[in-house]
Amino acid sequence: MTVAVETRRPQAAQPNGTRRRTSDWVRRAPLLPALVFMIIVTQLPFVITLIISLMNWNAYYPDERGFAGLANYSRVFTDVNMRQAVFTTILLTASVVLVSLALGLCIALLLDRTFRGRGIVRTMMIAPFLVVPVAAALVWKHALYNPEYGLLNGMLTWIWQLFGSANPPQPDWITNTPLTAVAASIIWQWTPFMMLILLAGLQSRPLDVIEAAQIDGASTWQIFRFMTLPHMRQYLELAALLGAIYIVQDFDHVFTITSGGLGTANLPYAIYQTFYTAHDYGRASAAGVVVVIGTIIIATFALRTVSSLFRREISQ
């Protein structure tokens, strides 16, 4: 790291001790407001969460407030709803990340070619990411999934009419497949994100090497398998991990489409409910700590990926 610093800004001759210390503080000064603000607003609440998680505290019973030890944690791990929420969170995050990553890669490959209207298609692809998540969830719930007049069932009616049938299937999407319905709306919003990062990755491929391989007679598949994929690995990791950080925290779609019903309550929703509806502060905090620990595991990988890309960038 320090090597990079020196290449970026070669330091003048080493000044004496005190002058160096003052110049250090002059350098640090612009950084401090942001750093102090960040420490207060983000670290302090987590310390409080940790303390409350060890307390017996329900806002409905203010007189019974006291030290609870690890009771909240054992309740979090034995509570069926919480365990279900952990399972739902993992399932939802993994499926959304994998599907939107695969779709994003296919679309990025399609857009990494020159064709008429490429800019328009790219713009159309970005648009879903730029709809307010609540609004997107509302539109999916009422305008697409509605069993009576939603677009999905409307299209089924059209297709069946085309073949002269009067009784098209009219499934109730949200009731029949609640988690898939929620996941589909999140996938729709996050595929553009994956696509953008992967497209940037594809466009950073060294073209001369690929051309050389083409001249040497490598097939399109060989070029994809042995040159494009290895180059794309870190971009795939980056897109998956950054996406996972946001998708793990998804609240808007779950809240709007199913209100956490039908087995779709993920951890953010379950914690929101424990705190906002049940007012069980102790248990909500313990669940929060569990989520933080889970996230740190993902975040460690994410940070490692970002820092490997980063180190390559600053060493250039």
* Distance in Å, CB of 302 to another protein, minimum: 6
Residue 204 contacts another protein per CB under 8 A: yes
**By CB under 8 A, what part of segment 180-199 binds another protein?**
188, 191-193, 196-197, 199
**By CB under 8 A, what part of segment 2-31 binds another protein?**
2, 4-5, 8-9, 24, 27-31
Q: Using CB under 8 A, which of 85, 97, 105, 144 touches another protein?
A: 144
Residue 107 contacts another protein per CB under 8 A: yes
- The smaller minimum CB distance to another protein, of residues 5 and 98, is found at 5
Residue 214 contacts another protein per CB under 8 A: yes
Q: Which stretch binds another protein (CB under 8 A): 69-77, 92-100, 129-137, 174-182?
A: 129-137
Q: Using CB under 8 A, which of 98, 102, 151, 229 touches another protein?
A: 151
Structure tokens at 235: 């971009």
* Distance in Å, CB of 257 to another protein, minimum: 11
* Distance in Å, CB of 234 to another protein, minimum: 9
DSSP letters for the chain: -HHHHHHHS---S---HHHHHHHHHHHHTTTHHHHHHHIIIIIHHHHHHHHHHTEE-BTT-GGG-EE-TTHHHHHHHH-HHHHHHHHHHHHHHHHHHHHHHHHHHHHHHHHTS--TTHHHHHHHHHGGGGS-HHHHHHIIIIIIS-TTT-HHHHHHHHHHHHTT-S------HHHHSHHHHHHHHHHHHHHHHHHHHHHHHHHTS-HHHHHHHHHTT--HHHHIIIIIHHHHHHHHHHHHHHHHHHHHT--HHHHHHTTTTTTT--HHHHHHHHHHTS-BHHHHHHHHHHHHHHHHHHHHHHHHHHHHHHHHHHH-
Q: Using CB under 8 A, which of 93, 181, 201, 258 touches another protein?
A: 201
Q: Tell me the per-residue interface mask from 42 to 61 with another protein, x by CB under 8 A, - otherwise.
A: xxxxx-xx--x---------
Q: Using CB under 8 A, which of 95, 128, 205, 231 touches another protein?
A: 128
Contact between residue 186 and residue 250 where contact means Cβ atoms under 8 Å apart: yes
* Distance in Å, CB of 109 to another protein, minimum: 9
Q: Using CB under 8 A, which of 3, 80, 166, 215 touches another protein?
A: 215
Structure tokens at 224: 């994809």
Q: Using CB under 8 A, which of 84, 91, 99, 133 touches another protein?
A: 133
* Distance in Å, CB of 225 to another protein, minimum: 17
